[in-house]
């Protein structure tokens, strides 16, 4: 992709009303746009990152047998009344709207009710279980305050997976698989080292749930690390008396044992003895944009964003320096060669000063910067800089290609 053709531009300052570090950097880099407090658009660079995170999550959900679906955002009132989650006293972050005939509809803040209702037509026997379904779907949550950039928003894509099993034993088998899949996801996106499996409250569903908490100054949770080697922690909300240090953390995923709360009397199956039993459920959430915001919060430095390779919008950032004909020609050739070799490249082909290109490259945070200048022509070697470590190296074209293909 040629930077000269992007409709976005970097900016020196974030909007004055934007207080979160992740949104400040992402707005300055041209990744996102703020529609209003807690509502953001994804611009081309930002959408590339978001989609990479989504695909990492999707791969892991498929690996544990999840079947992908896509439910509606508009919700029937009666489904939520039967579980007593319709009233604004019970659920304080509904967005609601109306059909023309005045009938009230909800905008989904989660999907347990419609998913278990939809499954009533498909589940009748123990032979239909176990299975799991998931989606990447927009959730709407009427947050009172939304000051954490893309880490807490009023509208966001969520990966929510729901598991359907015969009983708690079968449920826990799947639950452990899901836990491992979550750890794989957080490791792949570069947050493994600072993420803790945290025992938290199960709310109205069960005694405990598990959260995946990443150490982060901008986090809204407080955790106690109980086992550094096993990466285990407790959420302060449990009120347990623990002698470890308090750490600020952000919840980047959670897994819940729901039990039969959403199925009892509705979603049932006949067991081997022909007896009707409620399906045993679990739910498993990750917000890809919260993950993206967390990566920016914990991995950025004073110059800008530092994307791990797995989620970076591009693998390499070619900067042509100067407007010499030979330099422009070599930069073009190098860009085309790398793209042909399957490397995702952003090519800064703009006619601007070198200092501006360097500053923008640091801000945007692509893993490897490749400079093409008069010096490149003289030496026949390409100078690269690693965005994360600052390490500078020189490569012949062949070695550059194989380095970037790894």
Q: Which residues bind a second copy (CB under 8 A)?
A: 5-9, 11, 33, 35-36, 39-44, 47, 50, 65, 67-76, 95-100, 105, 107, 114, 118-119, 121-123, 128, 131, 133, 138, 140, 142, 144, 154-155, 164
Cis peptide before 395, with omega less than 30 degrees from 0?
Answer: no
Based on CB atoms, which residue is closest to a second copy, 48 or 317? 48
A 10 A CB-CB count for 367 gives 20
Rounded to whole angstroms, the Cα distance separating 18 from 1 reads 29
CB of 196 to a second copy, least distance (A): 31
Based on CB atoms, which residue is closest to a second copy, 48 or 387? 48
CB of 297 to a second copy, least distance (A): 21
Based on CB atoms, which residue is closest to a second copy, 69 or 172? 69
Based on CB atoms, which residue is closest to a second copy, 133 or 233? 133
Based on CB atoms, which residue is closest to a second copy, 88 or 227? 88
Closest to 404 (Cα-Cα) out of 307, 306, 309: 309
Rounded to whole angstroms, the Cα distance separating 49 from 153 reads 17
Rounded to whole angstroms, the Cα distance separating 154 from 138 reads 10
CB of 73 to a second copy, least distance (A): 6
- What 8-state DSSP symbol labels residue 287? -
Q: How is residue 186 written in tokens? A: 């957080």
Beta pairing partners, 69: none
Rounded to whole angstroms, the Cα distance separating 121 from 106 reads 23
Query: Residues 124-153, buried b or exposed e (16+ Cβ, 10 A)?
Result: eebeebbbbbbbbbebbbbbeebebbbbbb
Beta pairing partners, 370: 318, 384
Rounded to whole angstroms, the Cα distance separating 24 from 152 reads 14
Based on CB atoms, which residue is closest to a second copy, 71 or 381? 71
Based on CB atoms, which residue is closest to a second copy, 170 or 383? 170
Based on CB atoms, which residue is closest to a second copy, 36 or 273? 36
Contacts 24+ apart (CB under 8 A), 225-228: 225/196
CB of 156 to a second copy, least distance (A): 9
């Amino acid at each position: 992709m040629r930077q000269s053709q992007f409709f976005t531009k970097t900016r020196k300052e974030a909007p004055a009303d934007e207080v979160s570090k992740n949104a400040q950097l992402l707005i300055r880099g041209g990744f996102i746009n703020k529609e209003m407090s807690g509502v953001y658009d994804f611009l081309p660079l930002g959408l590339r990152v978001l989609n990479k995170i989504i695909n990492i999550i999707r791969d892991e959900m498929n690996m544990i047998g999840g079947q992908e679906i896509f439910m509606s955002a508009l919700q029937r009132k009666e489904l939520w009344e039967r579980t007593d989650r319709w009233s604004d006293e019970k659920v304080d972050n509904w967005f609601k709207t109306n059909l023309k005939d005045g009938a009230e509809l909800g905008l989904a803040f989660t999907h347990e009710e419609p998913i278990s209702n939809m499954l009533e037509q498909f589940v009748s026997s123990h032979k239909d279980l176990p299975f799991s379904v998931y989606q990447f779907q927009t959730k709407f949550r009427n947050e009172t305050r939304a000051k954490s950039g893309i880490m807490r928003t009023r509208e966001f894509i969520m990966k929510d997976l729901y598991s359907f099993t015969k009983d708690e034993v079968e449920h826990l088998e799947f639950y452990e698989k899901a836990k491992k899949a979550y750890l794989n996801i957080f490791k792949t996106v570069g947050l493994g080292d600072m993420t803790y499996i945290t025992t938290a409250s199960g709310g109205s569903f069960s005694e405990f749930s598990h959260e995946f908490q990443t150490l982060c100054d901008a986090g809204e949770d407080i955790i106690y690390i109980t086992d550094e080697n096993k990466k285990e922690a407790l959420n302060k909300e449990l009120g347990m008396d623990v002698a470890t240090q308090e750490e600020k953390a952000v919840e980047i995923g959670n897994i819940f044992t729901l039990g039969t709360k959403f199925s009892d009397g509705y979603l049932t199956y006949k067991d081997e003895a022909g007896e009707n039993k409620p399906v045993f459920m679990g739910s498993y959430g990750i917000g890809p944009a919260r993950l993206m915001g967390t990566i920016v919060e914990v991995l950025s430095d004073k110059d800008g964003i530092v994307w791990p390779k797995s989620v970076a919008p591009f693998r390499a950032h070619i900067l042509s320096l100067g407007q010499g004909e030979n330099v422009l020609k070599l930069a073009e050739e190098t860009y085309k060669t790398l793209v042909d070799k399957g490397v995702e490249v952003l090519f800064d082909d703009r006619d601007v000063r070198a200092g501006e290109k360097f500053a923008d490259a640091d801000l945007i945070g692509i893993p490897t910067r490749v400079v093409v200048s008069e010096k490149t022509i003289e030496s026949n070697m390409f100078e690269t800089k690693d965005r994360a470590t600052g390490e500078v190296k020189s490569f012949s074209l062949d070695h550059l290609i194989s380095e970037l293909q790894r």
